[in-house]
Structure 1
């Protein structure tokens, strides 16, 4: 190329370069391409996730499982690097390559994507009310001492079960709960003081399928809905503490069900979802979409829960009132499909109810996982701890395990009532408890002279061993036995009788 021709070509190139900003840049399809927007991404989108996968915020390319290779040859080199010389989509590039040639050996600029930011961990749910202490049997003199120190009395409740007074106090400003508890326990009558702990319904995650694709509910020997009538459970007196219940659900037509609410009227009421499901497992009417295990039983349900920022819970002060109320009503057994931390005041009441008051208490093992610490009230002496198994008698993967576990019962993909109408699948140790509750009530119905301790032992003695031989940390004594009153005829009752979803 002569020198004059070179300068002429260079002049033309400069004209094209200076004129270029006045012309929209286009790609091969004629669509205008985005200009730089200052967000340091590669402009496949502008959703702040710096990806090129459309707009799904996951910083990958979903078109082929996250590792997108345009040419299918298992490398990460773009096909654009193999285009023939002059085939670039930019007109300036094509012009200059035609004049000066293309340097394939020039280092390519590699744009590195920033490492994806991990999703933040969800905020842990509070363990207890942030500024409250609960006491039992605190004397008036000790109460006066605390009030002089800045404690304020919120609520008082006389526990008829053992003649003590429960009090709920706020702690002074600038005092931690640990400091407040230690100070109250140091008083002559304050040794039972503890936090106002929270307890939650033990419902697990929904199954990974829905409708008819899910495994059928397994009643493990309970008669089929059409083979069960109200004689199963007649004369049983069952109490339960749970969330709200929808008494107008079609499954409760004709049921002997009473519902009381104890939560503070200033708090947001609990929803009817969990409580309705538990009550329906017990006394749902035969012939409905959610028939109960003991439809002839009498059930008194206490709603002790409230909602706070999406968290549905019962504080220990309200739980104590609910248990005392059921004791005064004279129930034979109490279903507690809930769990939470250890609490001194709750332990004292549970010990009294299961001992001197002769009431059988059954509670959920909890869904915190197999390596979690024991949850309460299930882990207290005198309470029957119930874990959950699936239709194959495999343990529920989130169930708490330990030496305190007493029994196993169906609790995975259990078919029961929804909150408004109809029914749905439920999973969690909560839903296993009604099976054991029904069995305990049937034992007391068959022999009213049995003590609570004898009923607890009979449940363990009649359970079918699962897992390692003998009682173990996973299944306890084994699968809860079906009461004879609620079985089909012996020749029709297999060991595990699947109950299909009603039409």
Structure 2
């Protein structure tokens, strides 16, 4: 991440700031240096990362709804167009309202489908209608065993043994729906940067171009299927003087 366009907004007190490994891994997947050991999907993009989580002994990093809404407000104020939410939890009407309002203003939301297992309850914010919910698959197109399934799942993306950076060591592999979400976030950011699609048409475009997996048609495990960008990237490059990879877009991991 050295030399990359990265702005970090810290909402937590310094003595309880969240651990750094998860956020670093998501950030590297998105904007890691192209010439580094963990190259990112959009190395030329600008990333705005909000640390809305807190560390507490004996439990995983966590956030409250006030912090999450404050994070969304900070991103909207900076005119962030695509927001990656690699975290999950229970439903909350206040958070839902904040997401709905931001979506109405043109923000595209992408979130991890959750790692509670196929029989778990729906994970939020992924299950909100305004959010693209992403599950994780391995190189053999098998779903991540701990991925949460349900009618809210929209797309599948690589999320098993994903090579990325880590704060405590140089890099390592990670698995989970958190690491699948950035692939869809990067795709949505490319479409947004092309200025050919509005926020409402971006999710539709990604879903209609997905490679069907599992049962024919949309299903609760893979959603509409595996994210496909190759052909769409060719279309975007052919239709603009400057390729989308050189455009400036603002995205955020908002990780836990």
Q: Structure 2 CA distance, aligned partners of 1:444 and 1:373?
A: 32
Deviation at 1:321, TM superposition (A): 0.0
* Among 440, 452, 460, the residue aligned to 2:188: 440
Q: Structure 1 CA distance, aligned partners of 2:106 and 2:99?
A: 11
Q: TM-score w.r.t. structure 2 length?
A: 0.88
Query: Does residue 292 in structure 1 map to residue 57 in structure 2?
Result: no
Count of paired positions: 234
Cα RMSD after superposing both structures: 1.7
* Among 313, 317, 321, the residue aligned to 2:62: 313
Q: Paired residue for 2:253?
A: none
8 Å Cα contact 1:334/1:362 also seen in 2: yes
The correspondence of residues 207-246 of structure 1 with structure 2, limited to 5 A, is: none
8 Å Cα contact 1:294/1:486 also seen in 2: no
* Among 441, 444, 453, the residue aligned to 2:200: 453
SS at match of 1:452: coil
* Among 51, 67, 83, the residue aligned to 1:334: 83
Q: Structure 2 CA distance, aligned partners of 1:341 and 1:387?
A: 17
Deviation at 1:427, TM superposition (A): 0.5
* Among 477, 481, 499, the residue aligned to 2:228: 481
Query: Does residue 471 in structure 1 map to residue 218 in structure 2?
Result: yes
Query: Does residue 348 in structure 1 map to residue 97 in structure 2?
Result: yes
Deviation at 1:482, TM superposition (A): 2.2
Deviation at 1:486, TM superposition (A): 8.6
Deviation at 1:485, TM superposition (A): 4.2
Q: TM-score w.r.t. structure 1 length?
A: 0.45
Q: Structure 2 CA distance, aligned partners of 1:340 and 1:282?
A: 23
Unaligned runs of 5+ in 1: 1-251, 488-503
Deviation string 1:128-158 (CA, Å, 9 cap, x unpaired) is xxxxxxxxxxxxxxxxxxxxxxxxxxxxxxx
Deviation string 1:366-425 (CA, Å, 9 cap, x unpaired) is 000101110100000110000000011100011000110000000000000011441101
Q: 1:278 to 1:375 in 2, by over 3 A?
A: same
Deviation at 1:257, TM superposition (A): 0.8
Deviation string 1:159-185 (CA, Å, 9 cap, x unpaired) is xxxxxxxxxxxxxxxxxxxxxxxxxxx
Deviation at 1:307, TM superposition (A): 0.8
SS at match of 2:200: helix
SS at match of 1:299: strand
Q: 1:295 to 1:353 in 2, by over 3 A?
A: same
Query: Does residue 259 in structure 1 map to residue 5 in structure 2?
Result: no
Q: Paired residue for 1:302?
A: 50
Unaligned runs of 5+ in 2: 236-256
Query: Does residue 427 in structure 1 map to residue 175 in structure 2?
Result: yes
Q: Structure 1 CA distance, aligned partners of 2:16 and 2:130?
A: 33
Between 1 and 2, higher relative CO (CA 8 Å, sep ≥ 6) is seen in 2
Deviation at 1:287, TM superposition (A): 2.1
The list of structure 1 runs, each at least 4 consecutive aligned residues, that deviate by more than 3 angstroms after superposition, is 483-487
Deviation at 1:279, TM superposition (A): 0.2
Deviation string 1:252-297 (CA, Å, 9 cap, x unpaired) is 12211111100135x5111110000000000101121111011011
